Chains A and B, each alone.
Chain A
Amino acid sequence: MAEDRKKMQLLEKKEKYDNLYLAALPVVTTYLFELKKQWKKFVIFSLVAVSFVILLSYLPYALIPDNPLPDTQADYFQSGLNFLIMIVIFGSCFFFSGIICSEYGDKTGFITFPIINKYKLVTGKFLGALTLMIGVVAAFYITLGVLGIYWYGGPINYRYYYSFGIAILYVLAVGSFVTFLSSFMPNVNITIVSAIMFLLIANMIIDSLVMLLYPEFEPIYSLNHATDLISYILVEDFPTKLEDRYEEVEFRNFSRRIWLTPTIEMGITIFLVYTIVCLVVAAIIFKRRQL
């Protein structure tokens, strides 16, 4: 009797695993398909990332004898990470823009959705694009890290890995935002243009307006402000007090406050809030969207 119960329990457990496997299979299949489909984009963006690191963080020091290297490896990384934001924005636009809207634009949803659950399909595509984008960011960090060892010797400053972690959160937030745009835009091209316009221009205009109207308000709504944490985390004495996190700049009797960085907790929260809100809203729109 006890043996039968044990057998039953084992069978139930096996069935549970089988169900889980069957549920995850479409996601994994789509994920692998997305990796295969987008690998050329990945190679191009990785080459662009590596080229920009070499152009901005190697050649100016190697070719111009008077151009001084920063004092320490951390300072070098900090100056080299400036271009990362551009790579993430452009890369995310190209990798994530087609996640939802391409299914509607190309009418492929008619074929796939009855066979594969549409949420599993989108999840697989999102994870695939995220993996490739993290790969591009990793290529950027690895190249800069190798150059850091080349100029300053090893080991790599441990805060560089924190910076990489925060950069991944930033990729997640930007990827989610582009996915959100993709959920209601008619096609891929318009999604790319809108995302770039918003992330590069609109964000900056909003930040400037808020800075003018409410100079003492810290822009905790802003992705731009949160991205400062990617490079500022490399500073040896990370500012913990509020008054250390901004600089007052005066110009012709006009004073403005420039925020240097959010706190670590606040920066991570901003990225996670963007990620969660964008993905939830995208899911709702996606659910209601008709082919």
Chain B
Amino acid sequence: MAIIMKRNRVKKISLGFFILSTILIGLSSTSITAFTTYEPALNKGTVAFIVNQYNEGKWEDTVDRELDPDDFFDGDSDEIGARSKTTIKNVGNYKWDLHDALIFLLDVESFIDEDKLNENETLFLLSFLSKDYVDEVYPEKYYVWEALTVKWDFETEEFDESPDEKALILPIFKNPQDYNDLLEDYNKWTLSVNSTKVFLGKEPFPILDGDDFLWLLITSGIFTIARPFNSYLTTLIDKLDCDDAEVKGNTLILEKKGEEEYTVEVTFSDQGMQSSLVIKNDEGRVIYEIAQDNTDMVVLIVSGVIAASVAGILIVLIIRRKKFRQ
């Protein structure tokens, strides 16, 4: 009898230990589940944008006297009514490294002005940009969803048949923390190249802080985010340690200083792409606005509703006629 009671006690203790360990493991693993997992929201298809507002005088007084909107957003983006469009061809999983970021995201090749350099100087500078060199010194890989797109720049007239950019890549970093790692690597790379550039008497590559980098991402036109958008943006500005940025819902608000202080509000669509960009002066007046243009989709929906209605009426008429004959 005593042996049976002892066995039961052992069983109870074992069961209690099992339940306790299960609870403890569960508690400890909550820190793992607390990490947000991001998902891409991009779908194949075409997104069009339109310049809704542009106050040239206010732009010059507030943003920049030298540079116009087309210096930031390409094409005829300094004309009200100009439209641009981007077709997303596919979305896939890839690994990026600093070399990819230097070429596709930061476009450092455009800083190397070959006209002002002789052949040896150009080759020497380009050696810092070679894939072998960059991969060897900065081996870190970043996981991204990559969308292959074609893009038509802003135009006031009908779009040309062929796109202006035939292989534009939109990267969505799976972890927004990676943007900060990338920025740090970029700044290290810049420091290593700048000594040579200065030695050659050329202008050095800019060293960027979080706010500069964020502005560069936005003006590049390829900055795309993953779902949940608010969490992604909040993490991004935290990790980049941005002082002049805040997030409200799906909107990123940047405080900028040009000729005067102004704000830039960038709203992201349900696909994670920049759907609108509004520049306001310190009085809250809109100086410049780019918005998503949904005209085609409205036309498609209206046509679909009309076609469905006509088909429905025809079917009802045929059924009634058949019944009448019977």
Contact = CB atoms under 8 A, between A and B. Distances in A.
Contacts of A69: 44, 87-90
Interface in B292-326: 295-297, 299-300, 303-304
A150 B296 CA distance: 8
Contacts of A68: 89-90, 148
B41 interface: no
A71 B166 contact: yes
Given A65-B92, A151-B45, A153-B296, A74 B87 contact: no
A39 B271 CA distance: 43
Contacts, number: 58
Interface SS of chain B: strand
Contact of B92 (A66, A71, A153, A154): A66
Range for the number of chain B residues in contact with chain A: 20 to 34
Contacts of A236: 161-162
Given A68-B89, A71-B166, A150 B161 contact: no
A67 interface: yes
Given A68-B148, A157-B161, A146 B300 contact: yes
B48 interface: yes
B144 to A, nearest CB: 14
A141 B90 CA distance: 24
B296 A151 contact: no
B85 interface: yes
A153 B162 contact: no
Range for the number of chain A residues in contact with chain B: 20 to 34
Contacts of B88: 69
A74 B303 CA distance: 21
B46 interface: yes
Contacts of B163: 71-72
A74 B161 contact: yes
B90 A67 contact: yes
A73 to B, nearest CB: 9
Closest 5 CB pairs of A and B: A153-B296, A68-B90, A68-B89, A153-B46, A69-B89
Contacts of A266: none
B150 interface: yes
Interface string A49-88: 0000000000001100111111110100000000000000
Contacts of A154: 295-296, 299-300
Given A65-B91, A151-B45, A153-B297, 13 more contacts: A65-B90, A68-B148, A69-B90, A70-B89, A71-B87, A71-B89, A72-B161, A72-B163, A149-B299, A149-B300, A151-B44, A152-B45, A153-B46
Contacts of B148: 68
A157 B299 CA distance: 16
Interface of B: 44-46, 48, 85, 87-92, 148, 150, 161-163, 166, 295-297, 299-300, 303-304
Contacts of B92: 65-66
Interface in A138-153: 146, 149-153
A146 B305 CA distance: 13
A150 B303 CA distance: 12
A273 B19 CA distance: 87
A69 to B, nearest CB: 5
A254 B66 CA distance: 63
A152 B46 contact: yes
